[in-house]
Structure 1
Amino acid sequence: MNELVFPELLADKCVTLMESLYSPRIAASFKAMTRIRSVKDLWKLHYATMAYRDEYLNAWRKHNIEVLLCPSIGPAFKLGCGGKLSAASSYTIIFSLLNCPAGVVPVTKVTEEDEEELQLYKGYRNDFWDKVFKKGRSRDTESVLSLSLLELHEQLQDGSLSPDSVLFAYMEKALEVTKLLNCITEFLPECQTQLKNLSGKKKGLLYGIPVSIKDNVNYKGHDSTCGLRKFFHQPATKDSVLVQVLKKQGAIPFVKTNVPQSLLSYECSNPIFGQTLNPHDHKRTPGGSSGGEGALIAAGGSILGIGSDIGGSIRVPAAFCGICGFKPTGNRLSSQGIRASLPGQKTVDAAVGPMARNVDSLALCMRALLCEDMFLLDPTVPPIPFNDEVFSSSKPLRIGYYESDEFWIPNASMKRAVMETKQLLEEAGHTLVPFKPLRTQSAFNELVINGMAADGGSTLLERLKGDIIDSTLKDLFFVNTVPKVLKKILCMFLKPFSPRISEALKYLGGVRSIYELWEQHIARQAYCDEYIDAWKSAELDVLLCPALGPALTAGYAGKVTATASYKIIFNLLNFPAGVVPVSTVTEQDEEDLKSYVGYCNDLWDRTFKKGVSGAVGLPLAVQCVALPWQDELCLRLMREVERVTQKKKVV
């Protein structure tokens, strides 16, 4: 299959979706916009146009009409709505098609009675076009979009806001955002059915809340592509457990969001849906692999999203886009029905988790998901409800911190974000103690890389077989296709001037036997035990450390994959971790970056320096970490970080 086939396949799928999501009118219009395939088709169109004109003129003469009086579209739409209602031009464009002279004359104004009657407007069949037409003339969505998730939750629960007004406000905003950022892969037509099903039911914790979900989260009847042709046009046969629980709690999943090809990248681009842009700077990546979620939420097109994380895939987009993201302990939330990037790989734990604009929103989502429905639908999930007592506690914390993992040297802005947050936490009454991360370089190479590439890259290559390789994935694809002999030569060649790259390549070859794989599993457990022992010896409650940032220029993140060390180490350890935005890049940070040499000024360091330069004003985050199953404590630190940094901004 070549590159040109994808748009036509996508167009066919969009037509099918629109027939159920919006209406046959929109589906027919979309279908009509697909390109004419031959001159013969064009001539048929010309003939049909002439036939229609003749038919119209015959009807005119039959009724002995001299002139025609008919409606003109009006009144004026609110800004942003006109572009979504191209079909409203039918009243005027039809006379351009017929080549009839036509004009408009102002005759009256909108009255209060007109506004009253508009509330009963159903249009053609009360489809999406009709609802946007009505909304564009009567409802101000900004008041809905300006509410926090907790405010929205409160007003939906007490009935002062209706679920349909919230859903359509976010659908409209999401359409606007994706037009700019290309962050949505599909709108979910079933959201309207879900909306109808809410009436008369007990209100769950997420009653009426629109939720966006990452591409790889199964939703019945829709693809989970992972940005791969292999999974295109293969709709899920049932909802993932997570989606089922969201629905039971009253949430309304309404869109799926974009991902990088294979999910194994901090970029967000694939040959099917294209490149997603960072909402703060369109030349930069929003991060990956939950990049569509990060971009959509940061730009206001969603208030709550679900992502997945095997090496920072929730935390990196959240940090790059300036929102909050939380990776729980693995299997705290069900992963049934979540398409994995490397199924069968057990060294590095993946997790699903929420993304939102603030920490309270993350906590509300976790509280809602950790319910009896989750535990019944997936008995492998430990039946541990959300512990509000831990999350709401005001007891001072003993917080470990570090500003470098000594494998990937952070830039000045990353260090500053940690140290400023440390000072604010100390001023708030918490105890901060230095903590030395354990052997990050050897853990990254011998456990993370060796574990994720234990099959020699065969799973990744099988998934990419026959596919177009996205430009952002070409480096990873190349190193997995190089024969072992050439890989060894390349390692020797790189060792004198890029020892880290040479070392990483050595561990990409895969394990040679099941015995070696089991030995690696033993080594991983020993590393986890050692890390926990060091944590306990320091008597830590939680840990504060850097989050990768700022967002890199598009195309650079795929060339510096070892920056994952700050995030993926906590997947290896299976520690809950989350990120909170705390600052933005300053002119001084940019000046300090000029003297950055990194670990040894190798190719990785130089590429990273170029990728993060020119980022004044972009978001910076810190990372908060806790021990396994202490998710609420991690969220507690995140909320405390959010509180002290916001207090500083107010002051």
Structure 2
Amino acid sequence: MASWEQLAADKRARLEKTIPAEWKIQNPPSGDSVFDYPAQSGILSPKELEITGTSATDLVAKLATGELKSVEVTLAFCKRAALAHQLLNTNLEFFPDAALAQAKELDEYFEKHKKPVGPLHGLPISLKDQLRVKGYETSMGYISWLGKYDTEESVMTTLLRKAGAVFYVKTSVPQTLMVCETVNNIIGRTVNPRNKNWSCGGSSGGEGAMVGFRGGIIGVGTDIGGSIRVPSAFNFLYGIRPSHGRMPYAKMANSMEGQETVHSVCGPIAHSVPDLKLFVTSVLSEEPWKYDSKVVPMPWRQWEEDAIKAKLSAGGLTLGFFNCDGNVLPHPPILRGVETVVSTLKQNGHTVVPWTPYKHDFAVDLINGIYASDGCADVLRDINASGEPAIPNIKDLLNPNIKAVGMNTLWDVQLKKWRYQCEYLEKWRELEAQLGKELDAIIAPITPTAAIRHDQFRYYGYASAINLLDFTSVVVPVTFADKAVDKKKESYQPLNDLDKLVQDEYDPEAYHGAPVAVQIIGRRLSEERTLAIAEEVGRLLGNSITP
């Protein structure tokens, strides 16, 4: 039987063979940033650089009229994804030949019928490795899962295919999925295209790096504790964590399958709100509730989006905000990011009031216990099956002495969660009563840090508390850390030992230029409204301009 090292080496060799010789990098770029390398590589033509620099919304419009062919769009993204893997270590599966064959079939359909097959006709979409594609491996970062080829597809894969999407890559994830960095023993660490010393986030970190590098234009991720939102934030991207039941999850791979107290959800990572909306509306147009019994039969509600637009034209939004959850104070760049959003909104006529985080310490403790409620048996089984070691990011969390909870304890936890969710809604209503009008959303940090240095991610609470509440959350990129402005607070007295660890890690020089983001939090199943609010925030910030 092969050792885990041999199995990993074999997988890396197979991945290497998926990249054609003419796409191989002969002289790797020096320096920490590879952000501008595609334009300097000579591997992409000017037309291909233009295509990969275009929004998904514009690409599907051109594909739907025949101005662009799917083959040329797919080829451009395949080339750029090949560069991403060589520079950033992004891919767990790469299949350009199959993608180009699929694109050719779509072009032939268009030629014959003079119309697209669906709203995503011919658009390449990158997939987190959890999504199953027939004929390919889904290793999910576990050595023991290598060599198992999928015989059926995830419902999300099926519906995207029906809508006309082209698949070409499945991106890397951390071993177990349960950390906000992306490291596994198969291909190693995935890094940030803006600075290889920074994390790309996790667990959808391969997607964050791929879309951030524009090797993808829309990437599909999942989120049980920040796994869509953190990679979005760390790569200056938009991302949505929909509420459970809005997007299909059936037949996807996962850790801790059967854990039903806090659900993992599926959603897109992209460069703009219109591109997020394109994805969500395209999936909903395929009626996912007919394929996945957990999906709420709720088509896109245009009137909900229109209600926000009406408020924008009739006096503005009413928003809450907080910059500290009482557990860990964010670093100076994040505090400045929240203040930038708040002041920009106020200057443009919106009402922005303080929100007091309600029992976030309780929420974080409760959800951390839920994650380990099986005594870590599930993830330890899949790690130990190959003899591979636990990655450093998860090692301290995998305590074999943790006892699995009994059924009565689990029921009690579920009641505590439900009670907490109801109490949070009560606090929301109380503020509305004080204001005399509806509270549209809450602005908050998504992480306590800008794109973080490797192996330094300590605190998930800004993200995971929202998972416990099952609120809709959209990440909006705001600005970049600036060593001249974001000075360390030398006299700060930490809130606790964890807060001290996070504060001690801050180095203005090391974080200079790192992306800063916030999340816009709406009530459960408020995707239309929350996306519309996020789009307005992004518009006011003018954040489509990169440094």
The aligned residue for residue 293 of structure 1 is 207
The aligned residue for residue 458 of structure 1 is 377
How many angstroms apart in 2 are the aligned matches of 1:622 and 1:326?
Answer: 12
SS in 1 for 2:133: coil
Cα deviations by residue, 1:219-262 (Å, 9 ceiling, x for unpaired) = 11112212012211112211111111111111111101011111
The aligned residue for residue 224 of structure 1 is 138
1:2 is the counterpart of 2:3: yes
Q: Which region of structure 1 is more displaced relative to structure 2, 3-12 or 331-340?
A: 3-12
SS in 1 for 2:176: helix
The aligned residue for residue 436 of structure 2 is none
How many angstroms apart in 2 are the aligned matches of 1:398 and 1:592?
Answer: 32
> Which residue identity lines up with residue 475 of structure 1 in the other structure?
D
Q: 1:398 to 1:82 in 2, by over 3 A?
A: closer
The aligned residue for residue 166 of structure 1 is 73
SS in 1 for 2:409: helix
> Which residue identity lines up with residue 476 of structure 2 in the other structure?
V
Cα deviations by residue, 1:5-48 (Å, 9 ceiling, x for unpaired) = 13443157448x85xxx8xxx6xx9xxxxxxxxxxxxxxxxxxx
The aligned residue for residue 424 of structure 1 is 344
How many angstroms apart in 1 are the aligned matches of 2:430 and 2:178?
Answer: 35
The aligned residue for residue 578 of structure 1 is 474
Q: Which region of structure 1 is more displaced relative to structure 2, 418-427 or 350-359?
A: 418-427
How many angstroms apart in 1 are the aligned matches of 2:80 and 2:179?
Answer: 27
Q: 1:585 to 1:345 in 2, by over 3 A?
A: same
Q: 1:149 to 1:84 in 2, by over 3 A?
A: same
1:621 is the counterpart of 2:517: yes
Q: 1:603 to 1:429 in 2, by over 3 A?
A: closer
Q: Does the CA-based 8 Å contact 1:550-1:619 persist in structure 2?
A: yes
How many angstroms apart in 1 are the aligned matches of 2:380 and 2:246?
Answer: 30
The aligned residue for residue 200 of structure 1 is 109
The aligned residue for residue 100 of structure 1 is none
Cα deviations by residue, 1:328-376 (Å, 9 ceiling, x for unpaired) = 0112111012212221222222100000011111011101011234232
Q: Does the CA-based 8 Å contact 2:23-2:83 persist in structure 1?
A: no
Cα deviations by residue, 1:423-474 (Å, 9 ceiling, x for unpaired) = 11122222212111111112211x2122221222222221221223223322
Q: 1:430 to 1:184 in 2, by over 3 A?
A: same
How many angstroms apart in 1 are the aligned matches of 2:214 and 2:261?
Answer: 36
The aligned residue for residue 235 of structure 1 is 149
1:257 to 149, 171, 176: 171
The alpha carbon displacement at 1:595 in A equals 4.4
The aligned residue for residue 324 of structure 2 is 404
How many angstroms apart in 1 are the aligned matches of 2:359 and 2:90?
Answer: 37
Percent same amino acid at aligned positions?
Answer: 30
Q: Which region of structure 1 is more displaced relative to structure 2, 372-381 or 177-186?
A: 372-381
1:605 is the counterpart of 2:535: no
The aligned residue for residue 540 of structure 2 is 644
TM normalised by structure 2 equals: 0.87
Q: 1:138 to 1:473 in 2, by over 3 A?
A: closer
How many angstroms apart in 2 are the aligned matches of 1:385 and 1:326?
Answer: 17
How many angstroms apart in 2 are the aligned matches of 1:8 and 1:136?
Answer: 27
TM normalised by structure 1 equals: 0.74
The alpha carbon displacement at 1:171 in A equals 0.7
SS in 2 for 1:301: coil
Between structure 1 and structure 2, the one with the greater Rg is 1
Q: 1:238 to 1:269 in 2, by over 3 A?
A: same
The aligned residue for residue 123 of structure 1 is none
> Which residue identity lines up with residue 519 of structure 1 in the other structure?
D
The aligned residue for residue 64 of structure 2 is 157
SS in 1 for 2:488: helix
Q: Does the CA-based 8 Å contact 2:137-2:148 persist in structure 1?
A: yes
Q: Does the CA-based 8 Å contact 1:183-1:295 persist in structure 2?
A: yes
Unmatched 5+ residue regions in structure 2?
28-41, 433-438
Give the number of the structure whose residues are more often helix, by fraction: 1
The aligned residue for residue 397 of structure 2 is 476
Q: 1:82 to 1:406 in 2, by over 3 A?
A: closer
How many angstroms apart in 1 are the aligned matches of 2:227 and 2:488?
Answer: 28
> What does 1:45-60 align with in structure 2 at a 5 Å threshold?
none
How many angstroms apart in 1 are the aligned matches of 2:390 and 2:378?
Answer: 15
Q: Does the CA-based 8 Å contact 1:347-1:452 persist in structure 2?
A: no
Q: Which region of structure 1 is more displaced relative to structure 2, 540-549 or 268-277?
A: 540-549
Q: Does the CA-based 8 Å contact 1:596-1:609 persist in structure 2?
A: no
The alpha carbon displacement at 1:593 in A equals 4.5
The alpha carbon displacement at 1:642 in A equals 0.4
Q: Does the CA-based 8 Å contact 2:172-2:204 persist in structure 1?
A: yes
1:266 is the counterpart of 2:180: yes
Higher relative contact order (CA 8 A, sep 6+): 2
Q: 1:150 to 1:372 in 2, by over 3 A?
A: closer
Q: Which region of structure 1 is more displaced relative to structure 2, 536-545 or 572-581?
A: 536-545
Q: Does the CA-based 8 Å contact 1:552-1:612 persist in structure 2?
A: no
Q: Does the CA-based 8 Å contact 1:418-1:622 persist in structure 2?
A: yes
> Which residue identity lines up with residue 166 of structure 1 in the other structure?
V
Q: After the TM superposition, list the runs of 4 or more consecutive aligned residues in structure 1 that deviate by more than 4 angstroms.
A: 11-15, 135-139, 593-597, 647-650
> Which residue identity lines up with residue 407 of structure 2 in the other structure?
I
SS in 1 for 2:279: helix
The aligned residue for residue 297 of structure 2 is 383
1:439 to 359, 373, 388: 359
The aligned residue for residue 450 of structure 2 is 550
How many angstroms apart in 2 are the aligned matches of 1:589 and 1:547?
Answer: 21
Q: 1:383 to 1:197 in 2, by over 3 A?
A: farther
SS in 2 for 1:577: strand
The aligned residue for residue 356 of structure 1 is 270
2:460 to 564, 572, 586: 564
> Which residue identity lines up with residue 230 of structure 2 in the other structure?
V
Q: 1:178 to 1:379 in 2, by over 3 A?
A: same
How many angstroms apart in 1 are the aligned matches of 2:468 and 2:515?
Answer: 26
> Which residue identity lines up with residue 146 of structure 1 in the other structure?
G
The alpha carbon displacement at 1:2 in A equals 3.5
> Which residue identity lines up with residue 444 of structure 2 in the other structure?
C
> Which residue identity lines up with residue 534 of structure 1 in the other structure?
K
> Which residue identity lines up with residue 550 of structure 1 in the other structure?
A
The aligned residue for residue 193 of structure 2 is 279
Unmatched 5+ residue regions in structure 1?
30-80, 87-134, 484-507
Q: 1:593 to 1:166 in 2, by over 3 A?
A: farther
How many angstroms apart in 2 are the aligned matches of 1:333 and 1:180?
Answer: 32
How many angstroms apart in 2 are the aligned matches of 1:434 and 1:476?
Answer: 34
The alpha carbon displacement at 1:584 in A equals 0.9
C-alpha RMSD of matched pairs (Å): 2.5
The alpha carbon displacement at 1:625 in A equals 0.8
The alpha carbon displacement at 1:515 in A equals 1.2
How many angstroms apart in 1 are the aligned matches of 2:187 and 2:23?
Answer: 25
How many angstroms apart in 1 are the aligned matches of 2:159 and 2:503?
Answer: 40
